[in-house]
Amino acid sequence: MDSDTPHEEISLRTVLDAVNRQKQDIEVLVDTKISEKINSLRDEIHGTNQSMKSQIKKLKSDSQYKWRFEGNKIQFNYNTENLEDLTQAIWAIDNGKVDYARDIVASCTDRLKHRNKLIKIADTLMEGGIPSPLRQTLLLAILKISPRLSGLKTGPLGRKRLRANQQLNNSRFLPPLALASTLNSPSEGGSRLGMEVSRMPRKSTLENLNGDHASTVGRINTGELTAPSKTTRQQHHTKETSFVKDEYNFDISSLDNEYAQNFTHDYYEYEQDGTDIIVKGRLKENIQFWINIGAYDYIIDTIRDGYKIPFYSIPPSTYLHNNLSALKNSDFVHTAIQDLLHRGLIVQCDNRHFVVNPLTVSVQSNLKKRLILDLRAAEKSLWLGTFIDTENGFYKIPDNRINKMIHSIDGIISSLTWRKSVYVKKVASVVGQIISTYLVIGNLVYLMTKHLTIDVNTSASWYSYIKHSESSIEQLQFWKLYISEVNVKHFSVDESCHSIIYSDASDTGFGGYIVETPQNIAHGMWVESERSNSSTWKELSAVKKVLLSLINIISGKKVKWFTDNQNVVSIVSKGSTKTILQNLALDIFSACLKYNVNIDIVWIPRTQNEKADFLSRIVDHDDWGISYYIFQLIESLWGPHEVDWFASDHNFKLLVFYSRFWNENSSGIDGFTVDWYGVNGLFVLPVFLIPRVINYMRQCNAVGTLIVPCWPSASYWPMLCPNGGDFTDQVTAYVELPSGKEFYTPGKSKNAIFGNTDLKFKMLALRLDFRE
């Protein structure tokens, strides 16, 4: 630097300030690093705690729960391990530990890949391409390497391995050394996959597995010990183990005729080109199995002697000739009969039997033919306790069941009369008897037993006594009186409907309409105490109120009803265990029964119910009215009045009233569509309608009483006082009404002045007479 250049002087203060700033920066940096380390350590401790909690929970669960099958326990533990790791991964992602989460997910992925690899190896071994001894050795090795495979739920290995090993370990034979997939034997459930087990005596070696001394448990000779030759076993093995498929997930058309016999799709009916399946005798050959497990006598009898049609009455001796369709397809009939004889499904009779039914041939759209036995002679039979009359096309509950039900109900009523309580098991029995008639009576059995069910649920135990509510007693009386009237159901069902209705509810009110006549709209508003109820109550109440509002229009009709609440669909059909909802459902049912209305209620999404939703949100601020004191006053002066022309179900004072929308018990809507001549009417209406009402009264030469505020500045006042002094000649009399709020009925909106506060103006009742 040049000596002439002046030196910049740096003060001590400047140096100290710089040092302090650096110190502060270092402290901030250190604090940040420490905070990061502490947060990281806290997160790791949290993760470790969570892992320890999971392990403790797992140990506690393992110590408390006793597993019946080891395979299920292994599978559960494997799933639990993966679930814990994935939970840790989610926690790591939420806390920014991406690398830790990636390691956990990679670990789970490796386990699943290894498991899938072993499953594929086991599946390949079960296909039959490897000699039996080697295949068994490899399978056992895989099970030792990965015991979790023993918990597999697919294939015969997962379902039968444990049971087969348990049975063999308890016998005088060694554990199974050869496992081969095959279809299950008849005693194991027909078409389900099972196992073919080859076993050797204790002194046999692995090499002796190819010998001739073995007992084979197969699908044909289950329960019999045989000694097939080596060639026979190989052929049998090739035939039955070259595929491992469940019949419900396998296309039988992909198999040739030989393999197709392993499947049982069509054994219950005869169809042209059907598979040649012989199933007769499979269950009967193993009847001892069903006896040993304690099967019911009905099951044993059906296996031993076949299913017997329980005739309601013995049909007369009948001999019917084959139908025309059978004669036209005689070659097919002959072939079908020979095939059925070959299968052992029918027996040729040398003598004429008591009833001989005709044959019919049905030709399908794909030109396949079916042989049908026409059981027209068996017109009346019992099936599952139900009387079926095919001649007249209906079914009903037999009289003996009805009598038993009525006898049980009488017993409960007698017990209630005698000791005011009843044994809870008797009530449950009656409920069960009623519900068992569902096939004939339908959802009514649920709807009209809900109160009984509620009472049963209140009992402390099955050995206690309960008291019945009035509603439960009414339901008992209902079934006693009307069970015979509802005990019939016809085969043919009319699916058509005469009318379509949409309904909905909102926080302020309800609404509904008839599709084919859109002007028929039902609407109402909730009172203050109803607004806090649940949405299900509001939607169900909307159905009830819309139904009662439109009842005179839909009486005697079948109605398709749409609502956007799924609970309503269920409750209307079957009732509810909640008393308040059950009472609404019963009200709907009673109205339908009284007016012969058949409702088919269906759920729709909210987006398809927008019009009804709009109607439910309409708020009427002018639904005020007069009290009964005011009504009695004007009734005594100018009554009797006949029609309340502008009212609602909230404020009407006469039995005959017209409303803006359809309401319960309203006689009509829009009073301006009716001629008022000759009717002494009552007019308590929104203020803005007063001019129109005066004009229409003049047009109809009507007479009536009009309630109006005394507002000289209002637009209607000159129509009543043209000169500002006296009333017109049509006002024949008037009376001044009190202004207290108790003399008027407030509207549901709570925003109108009438009925909510004392009025600061006069109210008048005018007697108008426009008759000439």
Residue 156 sits in the same domain as residue 106 = no
Q: Residue 316's Cα: distance from chain center in Å?
A: 45
Please report whether residue 221 resides in a domain: yes
The Cβ-side half-sphere exposure at 551, using a 13 Å CA radius, reads: 21
At 354 the pLDDT is 78
DSSP-based helix, strand, coil % in the chain, nearest 5: 50, 15, 40
For the chain, give the number of residues. 772
Which of these ranges, 49-53, 135-139, 437-441, has the smallest mean pLDDT? 135-139
Q: Write down which residue in 490, 509, 529 finishes a domain.
A: 490
Domain extent at residue 441: 396-490
Residue 537 sits in the same domain as residue 634 = no
Residue written as token pair 């009514």: 444
Residue 755 sits in the same domain as residue 672 = yes
Q: Which residue has the higher pLDDT, 476 or 61?
A: 476
Write out the H or E segment, with its range, that includes residue 522: strand 521-525
What pLDDT digit, counting tens, does each position of 684-705 carry?
999 999 999 999 999 999 999 9
pLDDT at 280 over 60: yes
Helix extents (H) in 508-660:
535-549, 551-554, 566-574, 579-595, 610-616, 628-638
Here the tokens at position 510 are 């309800």
CA–CA gap between residue 195 and residue 758 (Å, rounded): 90
pLDDT band at 546 (very low <50, low <70, confident <90, very high): very high
CA–CA gap between residue 73 and residue 110 (Å, rounded): 22
Give the chain's mean pLDDT: 75
CA–CA gap between residue 431 and residue 457 (Å, rounded): 12
At 512 the pLDDT is 95
Closest of 404, 409, 403, 402 to residue 473, by C-alpha: 409
At 125 the pLDDT is 53
Closest of 280, 278, 300 to residue 289, by C-alpha: 300
CA–CA gap between residue 160 and residue 153 (Å, rounded): 10
At 585 the pLDDT is 92
Q: Is the bond leading into 712 cis (omega within 30 degrees of zero)?
A: no
What backbone phi and psi angles, to 5 degrees, belong to 364?
A: -80, 175
User: Tell me, what amino acid is at 371?
Assistant: L
Q: Write down which residue in 116, 145, 171 finishes a domain.
A: 116
What backbone phi and psi angles, to 5 degrees, belong to 328?
A: -70, -25
CA–CA gap between residue 673 and residue 693 (Å, rounded): 12
Which of these ranges, 152-166, 373-387, 529-543, 688-702, has the smallest mean pLDDT? 152-166
CA–CA gap between residue 238 and residue 127 (Å, rounded): 10
CATH number of the structural domain spanning residue 552 = 3.30.420.10
Here the tokens at position 15 are 């140096």
Residue 636 sits in the same domain as residue 760 = yes
Here the tokens at position 467 are 């008291």
Here the tokens at position 57 are 């929970």
At 490 the pLDDT is 79
| Inter-residue contact 648 to 663 (CB < 8 Å) | yes
Q: Write down which residue in 456, 490, 524 finishes a domain.
A: 490
Which of these ranges, 380-394, 651-665, 725-739, has the smallest mean pLDDT? 380-394
Residue 603 sits in the same domain as residue 515 = yes
Residue 424 sits in the same domain as residue 451 = yes
Find residue 521's DSSP bridge partners.
513
pLDDT band at 550 (very low <50, low <70, confident <90, very high): very high
Question: Strand, coil or helix: what is 78?
Answer: helix
Q: Is the bond leading into 718 cis (omega within 30 degrees of zero)?
A: no
What pLDDT digit, counting tens, does each position of 564-598 carry?
999 999 999 888 888 899 899 989 988 988 898 98
What mean pLDDT comes out for the span 21-28?
A: 77
Please report whether residue 181 resides in a domain: yes
Cβ neighbours, 10 Å, residue 619: 13
Helix extents (H) in 126-171:
132-145, 155-169
Please report whether residue 284 resides in a domain: no
At 121 the pLDDT is 67
pLDDT at 522 over 90: yes
Question: Strand, coil or helix: what is 722?
Answer: coil
Q: Which residues contact 283 (CB under 8 A, 6 or more apart)?
A: 186, 290, 303
Residue 526 sits in the same domain as residue 601 = yes
CA–CA gap between residue 747 and residue 687 (Å, rounded): 14
Residue 473 sits in the same domain as residue 593 = no
pLDDT at 383 over 70: no
Please report whether residue 363 resides in a domain: no
pTM for the whole thing?
0.53
What mean pLDDT comes out for the span 537-544?
A: 95
Question: Strand, coil or helix: what is 630?
Answer: helix
At 31 the pLDDT is 75
CA–CA gap between residue 531 and residue 595 (Å, rounded): 29
Please report whether residue 723 resides in a domain: yes
CATH number of the structural domain spanning residue 757 = 3.40.50
Residue 77 sits in the same domain as residue 207 = no
Q: Which residues contact 669 (CB under 8 A, 6 or more apart)?
A: 519, 520, 521, 658, 659, 660, 661, 662
Helix extents (H) in 443-522:
444-447, 450-457, 470-486
Here the tokens at position 53 are 């909690």
CA–CA gap between residue 550 and residue 523 (Å, rounded): 10
Find residue 359's DSSP bridge partners.
373
What mean pLDDT comes out for the span 401-421?
A: 88
Q: 218 vs 156, 293, 561, 724, CA distance in Å?
A: 14, 21, 57, 111
User: Tell me, what amino acid is at 517?
Assistant: T
CA–CA gap between residue 645 and residue 672 (Å, rounded): 9
What backbone phi and psi angles, to 5 degrees, belong to 163?
A: -65, -40
Closest of 288, 289, 285, 284 to residue 305, by C-alpha: 284
At 588 the pLDDT is 92
Tally of domains within the chain: 5
DSSP 290: H
Residue 591 sits in the same domain as residue 681 = no
Please report whether residue 726 resides in a domain: yes
pLDDT at 168 over 50: no
Integer distance in angstroms from the first to the last C-alpha of the chain? 127
Residue 203 sits in the same domain as residue 242 = yes
Cα dihedral 298, 303, 304, 305, rounded to 10, equals: 80
Please report whether residue 710 resides in a domain: yes
Residue 610 sits in the same domain as residue 667 = no
Q: What angle do CA 389, 298, 303 make, to 5 degrees?
A: 100
Which of these ranges, 116-120, 348-352, 496-500, has the smallest mean pLDDT? 116-120
Please report whether residue 193 resides in a domain: yes
Closest of 328, 336, 325, 340 to residue 374, by C-alpha: 325
pLDDT band at 92 (very low <50, low <70, confident <90, very high): confident
Q: Which residue has the higher pLDDT, 204 or 321?
A: 321
CA–CA gap between residue 680 and residue 677 (Å, rounded): 8
pLDDT > 70 fraction of the chain, expressed in percent and rounded: 71
What pLDDT digit, counting tens, does each position of 617-639 carry?
998 888 888 999 999 999 999 98
pLDDT at 504 over 90: yes
Here the tokens at position 143 are 């099970």
